[in-house]
Amino acid sequence: MRPKPPESSFATVHALPTLPGQADRLLRELEWKVIRRLDGLLQGDYRTLMRGSGLDLADLREYQPHDDVRHIDWNVTARLNQPHVRVFTEDREMTAWFLLDLSPSISFGPEGRAKRDILTGFVAVLSRLLTRHGNRVGAMLYGGASHQAERTVDSVLPPRSSRAHVLHLVHRLLAPPRPAAHRKGGGAATELHRLLQTALANLRRRATVFVVSDFISAPGWEKPLAQLAQRHDVVAVRLLDPLELELPDLGLITLRDAESGEQLQVDTHDAAFRRRFAQLAAEREATLRDGLAHAGADTLELCTDDDLVDTLLRFMDLRQRRVRAPRATADSTASQPHYAT
């Protein structure tokens, strides 16, 4: 029996309420435009891009330095006087978890193409692709809207494999975000490490974990992300908007911090200001990429002006090449993040 997570750590959502038409319409549109093009690419008949938890013994071979010592077959080793390891084939069944950062900064971006819209589309497409093949998907939602300080995430959707479950998840993502001013302690920065630590404490079995965030957060998320990547197959899905990297010449405008609500009037006609903004953005970009590199997780970048299908196709091609690569090559590059942009 699968252990139940402690109720004190987060609020768990079990019931599937009657769903409004908006979630169903969005999912049907994505199924027609996107999922039909991608179906079959995530999973094949025998090998998968996302690793399952079931294992079948495929072969025995001599031990090599990069092999996991836990796979040594001691009976064969004793008979042949030479270390041998078991080689396994992973089955298709898997559990995927979406760790979703729904903090106020996720709402940034053009109307209809904000980072939250991209997040919703990505989660809807990938979760439906996985559940169509009998896999289960679950989600942890973090947005800083909790009324209890001890809670680390706002809600959890336990893994299930039905279309109704995907609809329920999409419905939760389509719900209007709570204004920062009404959140408890409005003005506090996003603490992404809380979401990652909750996942570390409650994900017992190996799974594929998608951490979907813009990574605009207080420091401290790098270590728990690296720990999560050691136990699970982790993909860091980074959301970004071009305006976060470089400001255009728009004259006098008012900028508002989505996390704190603080407003600042700036003159974007000033070339020196735009250069300074771009320099600071580049420094933050370098720091972020360095943190993801040390975590050892694959990275998928989703920009608000990119096509979701093209980005996912590039990412799937990356994963396919990694699956087919020799084990020695994979081990030698394990500390390097693999980007699909």
Residue 288 host element (H or E): helix 271-295
The whole-angstrom distance between residue 155's C-alpha and the CA centroid of its chain comes to 16
In this prediction the pTM is: 0.74
The whole-angstrom distance between residue 76's C-alpha and the CA centroid of its chain comes to 41
Buried b (16+ CB within 10 A) or exposed e, 283-321: eeeeebeebbeebbbbbbbbbbebebeebbebbbebbee
Asked if 97 contacts 209 with a C-beta cutoff of 8 angstroms, the reply is yes
d(CA 158, CA 165): 9
Instruction: Mention every residue, 6+ apart, whose C-beta is less than 8 A from residue 1.
Output: none
Beta strands in the chain (DSSP E): 10-12, 55-62, 84-90, 95-101, 136-142, 153-160, 208-213, 233-240, 252-256, 263-267, 298-303, 339-340
pLDDT score for 178: 62
CA dihedral 98, 99, 103, 109 (to 10 degrees): -40
pLDDT score for 89: 54
Query: What are the structure tokens assigned to 317, written together?
Result: 């091609």
Tens digits of pLDDT across the chain (341 residues) = 444 444 333 433 333 444 457 888 888 888 777 777 776 555 543 344 455 444 556 678 888 877 777 788 888 888 888 898 887 655 456 899 999 999 888 988 888 889 999 999 999 998 988 888 788 999 999 985 444 444 568 889 999 988 899 999 999 998 876 655 444 444 567 889 999 999 999 998 889 999 999 999 888 999 999 999 999 989 999 999 998 998 888 888 888 877 777 888 888 888 898 999 999 999 999 999 999 988 888 889 999 988 888 888 887 777 777 655 544 343 434 344 556 66
pLDDT score for 142: 92
pLDDT score for 85: 85
Instruction: Mention every residue, 6+ apart, whose C-beta is less than 8 A from residue 267.
Output: 251, 252, 273
d(CA 261, CA 115): 18
97 phi and psi angles, rounded to 5 deg: -120, 140
**What Rg do the C-alpha atoms of the chain give, in angstroms?**
22
Say how many CA atoms lie within 13 Å of 295 toward its Cβ: 28
d(CA 166, CA 95): 14
Query: What are the structure tokens assigned to 219, written together?
Result: 């420091």
